[in-house]
Chain A
């Protein structure tokens, strides 16, 4: 059995006796018998460290780690600099609690203050919180920031990530808020529809758009922003932080709140988490931000100091009247993002973003040559949708199955004929050429995957 209790059985007995108990059973004698567990837990016996890591290695080995990844859809494969892993493994960061005691938590508080500043720089916003669970919960919390008695309907772009839409809906089920999906047209939000819908709705609270959107396309962010503001509602923009290396900021598009998933900033794919939700807002909305916020102040000797601040918004003070229930957030992931952005610098971020975009365009071109038509004719960042030609064995399943066989994770199947692809700075020209040639064989060759079509 593994144990992290330092004291020996004998020492435990001595301690028990010293405080007036003969046994553990006696110490627990105040617990009513009728609720006590009679036969103990039905768990396996504990394992040695060697056995347990062996077991976990076996389990991890049942996952397939792909050689090349062309799938994004909310989780992106990027290069993680060595300095990132090194810094974040420092135990003072890993093993600390939320920095309630400012005097001994200046390091963590300062790192969060630096993170907040970097998120403000990236998004063009005035204030950032210390993080939230992920991009989807950040979007849901942003929608909650915009609601009040008069305005309570949340509008969401149908071209946003369906996973994010799903989370917004769940949060709104909780708060009894109406959610309206604005239709997608030709790969972007239908601006005319949005204008029509919002004009007629005096209760419109906000509109959430994703830039670049789920299909990788660039939304007409300026136009959408004007429509939303003309209707007296708030404008929430969900962004890929990597794109922000080269893309106009949410503030530049006129957004009131910027959110997104910070996973591309140094966090591994890790089967979906932990990731990082970032949230930033204009000065006018800063006090509505949920969760922890760090502020700069001075100590009793006049030295620079950092503290958790604006706590009057929070649950431990306001209880049921709090702006949110957030307590633990994703501080360690925020640290990861800070170190990543520090290591990359503005030039490195711009270069990585430009390479993501360039490689995605190259991938689109070689896939097109192989026979996969791009679905949309819009400006896009590092994701795009293809349509496969009609044919018996040329559907999405056949294409993806063939790629898997070569250790390649292709794009995400959106439908029988549509695939959402992604390329990043880690993908090489050679990988993309290889991928295209496998796709070409599927589309033009004989079916090698009878199990897929059942023929």
Chain B
């Protein structure tokens, strides 16, 4: 397909901006742009069609089943989008006086309250823009805690070898040495390995539960106790929270800090790679280090008058105020985070409420177990026990038998309009396919997908070569990734 730069022609364009009603001023020679950027020259119709074509060559949750493990690709409710599009949220400047921002502040206040209840935490910051950004922020809280206690021996973060790559990368950004401990065969934490790893140099442990293979680690209280006894803190990676809402809480499992992915668990769309939102919750003793400002209810209550000089007696009284934590780590992003994403998540929580939140997790787990049982007849499961919201298949046996790999199965699924499961993750399972159906898929969708998996299995047995060349019906075939990396072409170049 042609690029936007290969369409249209010089001179075409839209009439978008009003004429200038003041005397014209422009930059002088020293700062003046010499040559204009080569941007497209297109009519509105051409632009509209170009992006419609691009949309047709993309695949979202709305296009079909999307069981991408550890990504929680649930349905993105429309009412969330409508709430985020409200003018009162879209058209306010982040640096307005606080008495004109009471609505935005209420959103942050309520979202914090509800998410703290769901996670068992005492406070939350919405400044982090994504999960990995949340990890970075949460680890900085841990770092600030040790630094303020003058406990500067604590230079190591323990991460299980099954962890997502962002965990060690985030620890490293915080100046920590990463200690990777081998998981048990079932993907759970090996208590002996953990006991051997902790010590006076332990700053903390990063963990998710259910773990990255989709199993609930039953030793969780013992795990967090071991870390705490060594003087370290426990960090909960909220990637898998969709399995346990209303059932268990990170705060009750002994975790001190948690990050959430609002774009996974709380139904906000992922936009082809963000914007997400990675709020970080913490226990009370870490609150002094939180980044940015936090919204608090004005202690003086309803009758209060804003004393900052921005408010006035004739305006509605300020109910919410901003507070900066006394020993704050600083800002991890400008302003208050990806605010409109928080609006969407709050809308979702209000829609579901107490029962709906629990129902979402229960059905996420039900759908995963249903698919796992129904696929076990022909596919090898990496683990046999009851899974949580996702499960891992291993194609290692099939690869040895007839050369069909996890990649082949994944690519074959594309021909059936199903987004493949996460491939080759976690690293501790060979030829892994990680399936996370989510709760928003119906039994029919699951049954159809199960049928497709069976059909692909039959093809794998009868004519494996057919799978090596899959997909056959997608806009392109398998791309040459090696050349892409070896001779990178990262931008369009014009023929001169």
Contact = CB atoms under 8 A, between A and B. Distances in A.
B404 to A, nearest CB: 17
B221 A32 contact: yes
B79 A53 contact: yes
Nearest to A98: B273
A103 to B, nearest CB: 4
Which of A101, A322, A324 has the most B CB atoms < 10 Å from its CB? A101
Contacts of B398: none
A434 to B, nearest CB: 14
Contacts of B253: 35
A144 to B, nearest CB: 8
A106 B1 contact: yes
Chain A interface extent, by class: 35 or more
B95 A107 contact: no
A339 interface: yes
Contacts of B248: 31, 35-37
A61 B104 CA distance: 10
A178 interface: no
B146 interface: no
Interface string B194-221: 0000000000000000000000101011
B143 A174 contact: yes
A248 to B, nearest CB: 5
A429 B483 contact: no
Nearest to B179: A320
13 contacts: A4-B439, A86-B48, A92-B59, A105-B59, A108-B54, A163-B331, A270-B89, A274-B340, A286-B490, A325-B166, A331-B274, A344-B16, A347-B13
Contact of A122 (B37, B68, B291): B37
Contact of B22 (A91, A161, A329, A359): A359
Contacts, number: 688
B359 to A, nearest CB: 6
B485 interface: yes
Contact of A327 (B93, B130, B362, B410): B130
Contacts of B117: 41-43
A452 B491 contact: no
Interface-centre pick from A328, A347, A349 (highest chain B CB count, 10 A): A328
Q: Give the interface size bracket for B toward A.
A: 35 or more
A247 B312 contact: no
B363 interface: yes
Contact of A271 (B17, B101, B351, B480): B101
A164 interface: yes
B41 interface: yes
Interface in B56-87: 56-63, 66, 68, 71, 73-77, 79, 81-83, 86-87
Interface in A332-374: 332-333, 335, 338-339, 341-352, 354-355, 357-359, 361-362
A344 B17 CA distance: 9
A176 B175 contact: yes
Interface stretch (A6-14, A181-189, A226-234, A437-445): A6-14
A133 B133 contact: yes
Nearest to B109: A59
Interface string A208-223: 0000000000100110
B94 A40 contact: no
A307 interface: yes
Contacts of A163: 331, 334-335
Interface string B262-299: 01000101111111100000000000000100000000
A195 to B, nearest CB: 19
Interface in A295-309: 295-301, 303-307, 309
Interface string A9-26: 001100110111100100
A316 B28 CA distance: 47
B225 interface: no
Contacts of B218: 30-32
Contact of A358 (B22, B38, B363, B442): B22
B232 interface: no
Nearest to B51: A87
B348 to A, nearest CB: 8
A425 B17 contact: yes
B334 A167 contact: yes
A273 B339 contact: yes
A27 B47 contact: no
B252 A116 contact: no
A255 interface: no
Nearest to B480: A297
Contacts of B276: 328
Contacts of B143: 173-174
B357 A95 contact: no
Given A60-B88, A103-B471, A170-B140, A7 B442 contact: yes
Contacts of A303: 476-477
B227 to A, nearest CB: 16
B347 interface: yes
A18 B370 contact: yes
Interface in B148-191: 164-166, 168-175, 178
Which one of A175, A309, A331 has the greatest number of beta carbons of chain B within 10 Å? A309
Contacts of A252: 33-34
A358 B20 contact: yes
A455 interface: no
B396 interface: no
B103 A167 contact: no
B22 A362 contact: yes
Contacts of B103: 59-63
B257 to A, nearest CB: 15
B479 interface: yes
B369 interface: yes
A120 interface: yes
B272 A293 contact: no
Contacts of B37: 118, 121-122, 244-245, 346, 349
Given A7-B363, A47-B353, A361-B25, A37 B249 contact: yes
Given A275-B334, A331-B275, 15 more contacts: A19-B369, A30-B385, A63-B88, A65-B87, A66-B96, A75-B93, A101-B410, A118-B37, A169-B330, A174-B143, A300-B479, A315-B169, A342-B40, A345-B13, A428-B21
A409 B100 CA distance: 10
B229 interface: no
A81 B411 CA distance: 39
Nearest to B479: A305
Contacts of A249: 33
